[in-house]
Amino acid sequence: MIDWMSLTPLDPGSTRFGHSGEHPGFADRDYVRRRDEIAARAEGHAVGDPSPTVTYTEDEHATWRTVHRALRQPQDRFACREILRARADAPVPADGVPQHEDVSDRLERLTGFRFTLAGGIVPNKRFLGSMADGRFHAVQYVRHPAMPLYTPEPDVLHDVFGHGIHLSDPFFADLYRTVGRAASRVDSADALDLISRVYWFTLEYGVALEDGEPRAYGAALLSSYGELGRLSRAQIREFDLAEMARLPYQVNGYQPVLFSVDSMDRLADTLHGFLDDFDETTRDRRGLPALADRGFMGRPADA
């Protein structure tokens, strides 16, 4: 997953569901132990190595089934056409949590992508750069069963219901590779931050207009029952790179501002136009707000 903490949160501790520290995903010791046990297997994992098999519990499978059932209708109603087409081929089983390797085998046949194991936060360079080689960092742990329709951090459900759908489709897979190639060419935290923001506001939280109505294509929206349900009430702005570069955004709770494109072709043109020649000078060349001007609050990426 993306290095969420290197981005500038509006208020990282507080969500509309209460303070994130009080969420059972953080406060339930047994749950945290299980989550950490699964996450620990990512330690020392080399990009491209197979993910270990996880023996999921019946509760974890039940959480998956609940979310699978709950997301179907909102996706039908609020996801854009291209996403619904991609979903038809995506490795999103109804009966329980799939193994990474099974998801990857299917994705590889469709687009050449495979999941590679993450234990949580992944530095931007590694997370974004790996996409150039068709590798997407994904976690294996499952959200807390008490709140199946909301997770304060990305989990395997987010990764499969969101990115798994994208990476089943050559159009979206090309956009991930485009992000990855740009990230491979730069090393500064500033340049990587700029790419991660554009990634965030498009492939995680992007919307497209269909007959004037917002429809979700971003992975974070597709995998969130609550975000899909409030799409018509979200503050939606026209696609604007300078705004994306400048805007603080919400890493917990609902994303207050979303950016729209008027078609998927326009999205591809815009991302290719911005990223194909991306380098360390792009921010200056394009006159985008500098890191210092935004009161950057991130921390150095950890491993």
Q: Would you name the residues annotated as active-site residues? A: 158, 163, 204, 223
Give, for 106, the enclosing helix (H) or strand (E): helix 100-111
User: In angstroms, what is the minimal distance from the CB of 30 to Fe ion?
Assistant: 26
Nearer to Fe ion by C-beta: 226 or 289?
226
Give the 3-state secondary structure of 108-162.
HHHHCCEEEECCCCCCHHHHHHHHHHCEEEECCCCCCCCCCCCCCCCCHHHHHHH
Tokens describing residue 201: 């506001």
Structural contact between residues 268 and 179, judged by C-beta atoms closer than 8 angstroms: no
Q: Is 76 exposed, middle or buried (CB count within 10 Å of its CB: 0-12, 13-18, 19+)?
A: exposed
Minimum Å gap between C-beta 249 and Fe ion is 14
The residue of the chain with the least Cβ separation from Fe ion equals: 219
List, edge to edge, every strand of the sheet that includes 213-216: 213-216, 207-210, 257-261, 235-238
CA gap 127, 184 in Å, rounded: 10
DSSP secondary structure letter of residue 204? I
148/154 with CB nearer Fe ion: 154
| Min CB(80)–Fe ion separation in Å | 17
Rounded CA separation 237/254 (Å): 16
Residue 26 token pair: 């953080």
CB-based contacts of 37, cutoff 8 Å, min separation 6: none
Collapse the DSSP code of 94 into the 3-class scheme (helix H, G, I; strand E, B; otherwise coil) and give the result: coil
Q: Which CB, 4 or 78, lies closer to Fe ion?
A: 4
CB of 160 to Fe ion, least distance (A): 11
Q: Which is nearer to Fe ion, 219 or 231 (CB)?
A: 219
DSSP state of 294: G
Shortest reach from residue 290's CB to Fe ion, in Å:
26
Look at strands 257-261 and 207-210 and give their pairing: parallel
Instruction: Tell me whether residue 83 or residue 288 sits nearer to Fe ion (CB atom).
Output: 83
Q: How far is the CB of 245 from Fe ion (least distance, A)?
A: 20
Q: Which residues sit at the interface with Fe ion, rule CB under 5 A?
A: 219
Nearer to Fe ion, 131 or 291 (CB): 131
